[in-house]
Amino acid sequence: MSGQSLLAPGEISPTRPVPASIPRPEYVGKDSPTPYTGPEVQDAETIERMRIAGRIAAQAMAEAAKHIAPGVTTDELDRIAHEFMCDHGAYPSTLGYRGFPKSLCSSLNEVICHGIPDSTVLKDGDIVNLDVTAYIHGVHGDNNATYLCGDVDEESRLLVERTREALNRAIKAVKPGRQINIIGRVIESYAKRFGYGVVRDFTGHGINSSFHSGLIVPHYDSPHHTTEIKPGMTFTIEPMLTLGSYAYDMWEDGWTVVTKDRKRTAQFEHTLVVTETGTEILTLP
């Protein structure tokens, strides 16, 4: 793997404004969101609104990803995604969620998830995860992907490629009537072929009018998560694979999660709706 220096927190820029005309999620300005008490199965009208939110989130992520290059700051990627969502009438769901200060998560190299965009400058050989969620018409669409910055070493490149494949395999395994733990079983069995760690403490989740509905979608083989998959359910699958252990540390900011052994990690995510025969991906640009 590339012998680059480990990450350190950078300087966080002031909060970016969102036009007053754009509706906010209920949790903005609060310490925590109101617990979701609605159904995990959504009606056709809600799913249609989620298609819009998912498409905007995917487009915003793709727009930011175009600018991934050595010398660019993660804060600049945040600005691009923020402005794209606002320009399309969407609120950046992470902004103000439990106090998170930015409009996307930028997780580099050994950061598993929830990295805060700041003055950190991308370097040649980095791998860069962007996690973007958009809120519009009362619902959320959530996606992320890991990108290569410049000339990336083979071990890291394969980790990224295989993490994407783990997500694709998991999506194909989703069928009505199966238990939700089929997702983690498929991901972990694939990851084990390469000796990768599978992160356990951060999972996929139900999503709809709530950013995180309470439904848990584990990415490891768990006999305890036996929820039946039903048509109309909406949730994310977002495997996080590591080159070493899945154990982690958290920075003092209370958000940035890094591998305990500081080895690299990759993640991919889509928001899905379960259909009568499989799934529809809602976060496609």
pLDDT tens figures, 203-257: 999 999 999 999 999 999 999 999 999 999 999 999 999 999 999 999 999 999 9
Q: Which amino acid, residue 221?
A: D
- Model pLDDT, residue 2: 45
φ, ψ of residue 33 in degrees (nearest 5): -75, 160
CA distances from 182 to 177, 185, 189 (A): 11, 5, 11
Could you give the percent of the chain with pLDDT greater than 90?
98
**Residues 60, 130: Cα–Cα separation, whole Å:** 10
Q: What is the DSSP letter of 147?
A: E
CA atoms of 249 and 257, how far apart (whole Å): 6
- pLDDT of 120-152, one tens digit each? 999 999 999 999 999 999 999 999 999 999 999
Q: How far is CA 213 from the centre of its chain?
A: 15
| Contact between 114 and 129 (Cβ < 8 Å) | no
For residues 276 and 278, give the distance between their C-alpha atoms in angstroms, rounded to a whole number: 6
> Residue 33 is encoded by which pair of tokens?
């969101």
Hey, what are 71's tokens?
């010398």
The residue-averaged pLDDT of 92-116 equals: 98
Mean pLDDT across the stretch 62-90?
98
Q: Beta-carbon neighbour count of residue 26 at 10 Å?
A: 13
Q: Which helix (H) or strand (E) holds 184?
A: helix 181-192
CB 145, CB 178: distance < 8 Å: no
Q: Are 109 and 256 in contact (CB under 8 A)?
A: no
Instruction: Name the residue with higher pLDDT: 195 or 285.
Output: 195
Predicted pLDDT of residue 5? 80
Distance CA 275, CA 110 (A): 36
SS3 192: helix
Confidence (pLDDT) at 3: 54
* Cα–Cα distance measured from residue 22 to residue 14, given in angstroms and rounded to the nearest whole number: 20
Residue partners of 218: CB distance under 8 A and separation at least 6: 180, 181, 183, 184, 200, 203, 204, 225
Tokens of 189: 């069995």
Q: How confident is the model at residue 1 (pLDDT cuts 50, 70, 90)?
A: very low
Tell me the CB-side half-sphere exposure of residue 46, using CA atoms within 13 A. 18
* Spatial CA neighbour of 209 closest among 42, 4, 7: 42
Contact between 152 and 46 under an 8 Å Cβ cutoff? The reply is no
Residue 101 clears pLDDT 60, i.e. is over it: yes
Which of 5-9, 104-108, 209-213 has the weakest average pLDDT? 5-9
Cα separation values, 76 from 8, 51, 63, 68, 135, Å = 17, 27, 12, 10, 21
